[in-house]
């Protein structure tokens, strides 16, 4: 190529490297990578992924991990494919602890910086993450599952959320208040308010106490849909447990109380009057 002064572009390099990887010529691909790094056509995440995958298949996992670090130094963000190749390579060598550590790093990194599979949607990225767990028999902690559940909720995959949530106990994990709050928030967002309220009861039955975030989310959900009976009982339960509505919830409650007073001939309600109505409930727990 140099003799003819032909300068291949990124597509040409990618095609050649892909072919070399499939032929098992990993050493040649690494040399070609070095050539790209020195030239004007710099390697991207796709090129690095192909070579990392090839190295892992050749059981050269240490070299693949070093390449992964080089990517970071070059300012190239890894994606799910990068991590999947490395995790599978570590798993194939029996390096369970390192594979699990890398998986947790992958989940935190992907969702913290919103890096998704190239050309794929969020739900497909989540499916890829779950596939990595199942295929490599990893054992991530509850924090990792919370991140996955949050991603599934935001992608509107409530069926997958329920399945993943039900599987936690069999994995030896106990849902935390954060786990419940993430799912309740997802249910409220999808206007499944009764289901969210039922989950509130279930979490208490399971010995997981709700917090002020839990109550405020459900309370606002009912108020936004103008379901005015449920908020009153929920507000009472909330205050009895020592929690207090946040500012945005209080603003919505003011509208409810104002409407109630107008309908019953009580005139316009002020913030002082609204606080006076809630105060007796708060006083019951003092």
Q: How far apart are CA 271 and CA 247, in angstroms?
A: 12
User: Of residues 126 and 2, which shows the higher confidence score?
Assistant: 126
Judge whether residue 117 has pLDDT over 60: no
Question: How big is the chain by its Cα radius of gyration, in Å?
Answer: 27
DSSP secondary structure letters along 117-170: -TT--HHHHHHHHHHHHHHHT----HHHHHHHHHHHHHTT-HHHHHHHHHHTGG
Question: What is the pLDDT confidence band of residue 150, given thresholds at 50, 70 and 90?
Answer: confident
Using a pLDDT cut of 90, give the percent of the chain over it: 13
Q: How far apart are CA 218 and CA 150, in angstroms?
A: 17
Q: How far apart are CA 11 and CA 83, in angstroms?
A: 23
Q: What is the pLDDT of residue 43?
A: 83
Question: What is the pLDDT confidence band of residue 1, given thresholds at 50, 70 and 90?
Answer: very low
Q: How far apart are CA 91 and CA 76, in angstroms?
A: 24
Taking residues 77-83, report their average pLDDT. Answer: 82
Token duo for residue 192 = 């499944």
Taking residues 58-80, report their average pLDDT. Answer: 86
Class of residue 134 by CB neighbours under 10 A (exposed 0-12, middle 13-18, buried 19+): exposed
Q: How far apart are CA 25 and CA 55, in angstroms?
A: 10
Q: Where does 174-286 sit in CATH, by number? A: 1.25.40.10
Token duo for residue 277 = 């109505």
Residue 144's CB: how many other CB atoms inside 10 A?
22
* pLDDT tens profile 90-102: 888 888 788 878 8
Torsion sign over Cα 249, 226, 255, 265: negative
What are the percentages of helix, strand and coil residues in the chain, rounded to 5? 70, 0, 30
Mean pLDDT of the chain: 77
Our measurement of the distance from residue 63's CA atom to the centroid of its chain's CA atoms, rounded to an integer in Å, reads 30
Contact 79, 110 (CB under 8 A): yes
Using a pLDDT cut of 70, give the percent of the chain over it: 73
Q: What is the pLDDT of residue 283?
A: 46
């Amino acid at each position: 190529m140099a003799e003819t002064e032909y300068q291949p572009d990124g597509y040409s390099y990618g095609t050649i490297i892909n072919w070399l990887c499939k032929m098992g010529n990993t050493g040649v691909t690494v040399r070609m990578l070095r050539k790209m790094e020195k030239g004007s056509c710099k390697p991207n995440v796709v090129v690095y992924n192909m070579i990392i995958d090839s190295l892992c298949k050749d059981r050269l996992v240490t070299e693949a991990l070093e390449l992964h670090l080089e990517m970071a130094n070059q300012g190239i963000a890894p994606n799910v494919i990068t991590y999947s190749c490395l995790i599978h390579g570590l798993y194939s060598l029996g390096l369970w602890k390192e594979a699990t550590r890398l998986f947790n790093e992958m989940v935190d990194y992907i969702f913290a910086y919103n890096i998704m599979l190239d050309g794929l949607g969020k739900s497909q990225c989540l499916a890829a993450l779950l596939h990595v767990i199942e295929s490599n028999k990893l054992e991530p902690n509850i924090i990792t599952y919370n991140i996955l559940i949050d991603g599934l909720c935001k992608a509107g995959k409530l069926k997958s959320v329920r399945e993943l949530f039900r599987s936690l106990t069999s994995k030896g994990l106990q849902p935390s208040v954060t786990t419940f709050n993430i799912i309740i928030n997802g249910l409220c967002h999808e206007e499944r308010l009764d289901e969210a309220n039922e989950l509130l009861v279930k979490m208490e039955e399971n010995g997981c106490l709700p917090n002020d975030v839990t109550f405020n989310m459900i309370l606002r959900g009912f108020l936004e849909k103008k379901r005015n009976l449920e908020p009153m009982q929920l507000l009472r339960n909330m205050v009895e447990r020592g929690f207090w509505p946040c500012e945005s919830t209080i603003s919505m409650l003011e509208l409810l109380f104002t409407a109630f007073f107008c309908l019953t001939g009580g005139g316009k309600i002020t913030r002082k009057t609204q606080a006076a109505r809630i105060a007796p409930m708060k006083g019951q727990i003092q």
